[in-house]
Every structure is written in structure tokens, then in C-alpha cells.
Amino acid sequence: MDFQLIFLSVPLIFIAYKLFNRLRFKLPPGPRPLPVFGNLYDIKPVLVRCFTEWSQQYGPIFSVYLGSHLNVVVNNAALAKEVLKDNDQQLANRNRTKTIEKFSKNGMDLIWSDYGPHYVKVRKLCTLELFSAKRLDALRPIREDEVTSMVESIFKDCSAPENKGKALMLREYLGMMAFLHITRLTFGKRFMNNEGIIDGQGQELKGILNDAIKLGTKKSLAEYLPWFRFLFKAENEALAEHDSRADHFTKKIMEEHTIARKKTGDTKNHFVDALLTLQKQYDLSQDTIIGLLWDMISAGMDTTTITVEWAMAELVRNPRVQKKIQEELDQVVGTERLMTESDISNLPYLQCVIKECFRMHPPTPLMLPHKANANVKIGGYDIPKGATVSVNVWALARDPAVWKDPLEFRPERFFEMDVDMKGTDYRLLPFGSGRRICPGAQLAINLVTSMVGHMLHNFTWTPPAGVRVEDIDMMEQPGTVTYMKTPLEAVPTPRLAAHLFRRVAVGNV
Ligand code: HEM
């Protein structure tokens, strides 16, 4: 009898406490939540489109409950500034689900760490060491190696007689490039041999990444309904296995680099060597080093692939813009050599094109969720401590009150208005802003600009035979990062001499 009473009263007290909190605070309006399930029942799969629709219904700031957890979504530039500037420090924690708790070693990395002394230390290490201008420059040969290698393989495939005029699926090439680049930057190794075969260690790495995607995207109810977590024993076991596999892989790589450094006395610029040599100075635990290495892979791989795939889709749909970029490239770079990153500063139109791509298709359209570490007020509403706050950067960059013809892909708009995209202008925030702004922003901009530049300098792109440009599917796939729902297919026609389609290979840097 006593046991039954306790069994019934615990959830009742919990629900009463939640109700009390809802009445105590003046929360932003939003769709009516159900007990326990919240709004999970009426959320549409492409979250960012669903939230943008709701912002038209409920206003630019609204509440949504994922299970019983309160999320507040802000949808215009003025509110974004309140979140990311005026209340930046109070809103700089992260919400870690059970899966993320495991992936991030309880927030001992950077991405999932709460704001506090650990975060400040690791962030400083990123700013001063990993992403310093000097290191970015030193790592440039890797980027140029991988971009030219991608172009070479596209050229080989489209020049094969049986493939003449055939469309290629771009995501395969972009994804491979992004994988080789980020793993090389992070783990200091190219996992593909000169015959284009991924080696054994690379296969293991791909296996770990595939598992991570499966575990991460399998959003079980347990993530949102913690009371039912005990039902998901198999998932918990799979998580533990994944964690130990990733640890084993990373420790082996760290060991290999430690031996190499002892042998040669030479420290390379990639992140493993950097972190191991800075370990004492920054007092980094092994868990933090491993966590940071995997942070770079998870933050820096898909985001690049996604951005360039959307960019190419827009360019296939807009032959006018394609032609204009090619004219600029031919004028600045010529047709006798390949472009390099040092050409970028002389390619203002290409820079506008990249900005326009980030405006229309930010790969993380709701940024990463922030969590309140204190009660704060945003837009006149209460945000209680513990609530999650998301900034809908997709909606900000398509706000008709700010942007003329926001749904039109028109890079020239950036010649007419001066808008920064690295966190100082709240109308355009593909990398976020404030304390938690993406530390890889400059690296990503260089890489994406170089990829699109090479793709357009080397080839002209058209839709597959029989497909009209207006038939290209521009819908997003559901997920935290927004891939195109239908992978882009396009036909490349080489426009430079064949000898220029050659990989510019470098060794370890
Ligand atoms: C197109 C490329 C990229 C985009 C659009 C992008 C965007 C973002 C965004 C929106 C955030 C969250 C900011 C916030 O929570 O307020 C973020 C965080 C982060 N990004 Fe990127 N990113 C890109 C590429 C990269 C690359 C290449 C790296 C590293 C190699 C990287 C490393 C990180 C890290 C470590 C964080 C966590 C920062 C923190 O929590 O303090 N990103 N990124």
C-alpha cells in the first residue's frame, strides 16, 4: 500500500512542480503541450521549417516542449542579439542528452561543455593555438591537396568514355573530400592511399563515424522521456561499445604520433601533435584531448559537405551566377593555372556567392542549442534556468523585414549592403555569435570558398539530361544539420586543359 502511494505521488509531485513553474514564469507563448510528451506529437520532421511556421503563428519568440523540457526559439535579429550578446554568459551552457553525455565524456570536450573554468580554458586553447591564423596558414597545403584531389577524381570520372554527359552525384565527392581533410587535420594522417583506396585504419574510422551517425540520429523517446530510459538497455550498451571503440582508435593514433615525435624531434601542425605538446601547459586530461579531437570531426565534416552541395545546387539553378563567377576567375586567375586560397581576396564576387549560400542554407539552421544557467528575460518573457534556447538563424537570414526578396538567390545583394557573417551582424549568423561562436569559422570559409572556386574554375555544371532547373528538389532532410533531401546530381563539363586536373599532393604538415 505504502509502495503504491509512493509510486503514484512521485510523478504527481513532478507534474505539480512543472505546473507551478509554468505559472510562476511569464513564458513565451507556443503550441499547447501534452503532459509528458509536450509538443513531440505535432513537430514536423524538418524542424527549422516547422519552427519558422510557428514563429508566424505565435510570434518571433515561442516555447516548445520536447517531452517535458522547455525549449525557447527566437526568430529575429533583435532577439538573437538579446540571446547572444546581452545575455550571452547566462545562456552559454549546453543541454546534454544521454547519448551526448556519452559522446562528450560528460561535457569534458568543448562543444558540449557547460560554460565554466573548463570551457574557458579549452576555448582559449582553440582560439590561441588550434585555430590561430598561423596554424590555419600552415595547414593550408592539406586543404589544397584535398580540394585538387577531389577535382582530379571528378575529372577522371566525367572523362571516362562510358560517362560522357552523365550526371554525377556530387555528395560522394564532397563527402570524401571533407572526410579526408578533417581527419587529416585532426588525426594527422591521410587514410587513403595513392590508388584511392581507404586503408584499414581509415575503414575502422569510417565504421566508428557510421555508428556515431546511427546512434546520434536514432532519437529514441528515451532522449525526451527520461522516465522510460530503463526500456532502452540495448541502446545504452551500443553507446558504451561505440565509446570504447572510438577511445581505442584515438589512443592508438596518439601513441603513433608520440613515437614519431620522439624519433624525429619534429612537431607537426595537425591537432593531435598540437594537443599532445600543449597537454601540460593547458592541463588537459586524456579524455579532454580525445573529446576535442572528435569534436572537430563531428563539427567540421558534414557542415562543409552540406554547404558546398547547397551552393552547387544554387549554381546549377542559376547559370547567370555561374557564368559571372567563371568570368571573375578567368580574369583574376586565368586559365593557365589552378586557383589557390591566396586568390580569394581578389575574388569579391565569389565571396558574395559564398555569403549568399550561407544566408540561404546555413548547415546548422538552429545553431547548437544553448542552455540557461540562470533565470533571464528575453523579449520581455522569462527564460527559466535549465531551459534550452535556440536561435533560428535560417529564419533571421530569410526575414522579409530585413532582406529584399529573401527567397531569391542573388549574391549581388552583398555589394549593396555590408553584412558580416562572422558573428557581428545579427541578420546573418551561420556560425553563431558571442562566446560560443564557431571557432572553425575562418577555416570553414576558406575551405568552402576554395571548393566552390575550384569546382567553377575547372568545370561548368548543368542539370542531368531531361531535368529542368526548377525541378531540382530544394527541400531539406530532417536532422540537426540540414543536408539536401535529394542528393544533387549534375553534369560537369571540363573547361581547363587536362594537365591542370592534377592533385597537388603534400606530405604530413
Ligand atoms: C560550414 C561550416 C561550419 C558552420 C556553418 C559551423 C557552424 C557552427 C555553429 C552554428 C556552431 C554553434 C555556435 C553556438 O552554439 O552558438 C558551431 C560550433 C562549433 N564549431 Fe562550427 N561550423 C562549421 C565548421 C566548423 C569546422 C570546420 C570546425 C572545426 C574544424 C568547427 C568547429 C566547431 C566547434 C568546436 C564548435 C563548438 C564551439 C563551442 O561550443 O564553444 N566548425 N559551428
Three-class secondary structure assignment of 281-338: CCCCCHHHHHHHHHHHHHHHCHHHHHHHHHHHHHHHHCHHHHHHHHHHHHHHCCCCCC
Q: Which atom of ligand 1 is nearest to the CA of 370?
A: 15
- Is 438 annotated to bind a ligand? Reply is yes
Greatest mean pLDDT among 4-13, 34-43, 237-246, 423-432: 423-432
Mean pLDDT of 165-178: 97
DSSP class of residue 63 equals: E
Q: Is 149 touching ligand 1 by the criterion CB < 6 Å?
A: no
pLDDT above 60 for 186:
yes
Neighbours of 6 (CB within 10 A): 9
Q: How far is the CA of 367 from the centre of ligand 1 (A)?
A: 8
Per-residue pLDDT at 17: 61
Per-residue pLDDT at 6: 59
The full set of domain ranges for the chain reads 118-500
Q: Which atom of ligand 1 is nearest to the CA of 182?
A: 30
pLDDT above 60 for 3:
no
Q: Is 431 touching ligand 1 by the criterion CB < 6 Å?
A: yes
In single-letter form, the type of residue at position 341 comes to E
Site to probe by mutation for ligand 1, drawn from 301, 394, 438 as the one with most ligand atoms within 8 Å of Cβ, is 438
The domain made up of 118-500 has a fold known as Cytochrome p450 (1.10.630)
Per-residue pLDDT at 506: 92
pLDDT above 90 for 24:
no
Q: 34-50, pLDDT tens digit by residue? A: 998 999 999 999 999 99
pLDDT above 70 for 14:
no
pLDDT above 70 for 128:
yes
Q: Is 383 touching ligand 1 by the criterion CB < 6 Å?
A: no
Q: 253-284, pLDDT tens digit by residue? A: 999 999 999 999 888 999 999 999 999 999 99
Per-residue pLDDT at 399: 98
**CA separation for the pair 249, 187 (Å, rounded):** 10
Q: Residues 127, 131, 134, CA angle at the centre, nearest 5°?
A: 110
- Global pTM? 0.94
**Whole-number CA gyration radius for the chain:** 24
Site to probe by mutation for ligand 1, drawn from 94, 113, 370, 431 as the one with most ligand atoms within 8 Å of Cβ, is 431
Per-residue pLDDT at 234: 74
Q: 390-419, pLDDT tens digit by residue? A: 999 999 999 999 999 999 999 999 999 999
Name the pLDDT band for 306 (thresholds 50, 70, 90): very high
CA dihedral 308, 405, 316, 46 (to 10 degrees): 50
Q: How far is the CA of 274 from the centre of ligand 1 (A)?
A: 19
Q: Is 438 touching ligand 1 by the criterion CB < 6 Å?
A: yes
* Shortest-distance Cα residue to atom 9 of ligand 1: 431
Neighbours of 144 (CB within 10 A): 20
Q: How far is the CA of 298 from the centre of ligand 1 (A)?
A: 9
Which residues, other chains included, contact 267 with Cβ-Cβ below 8 Å and sequence gap of 6+?
261, 273, 274, 277
Mean pLDDT of 64-87: 97
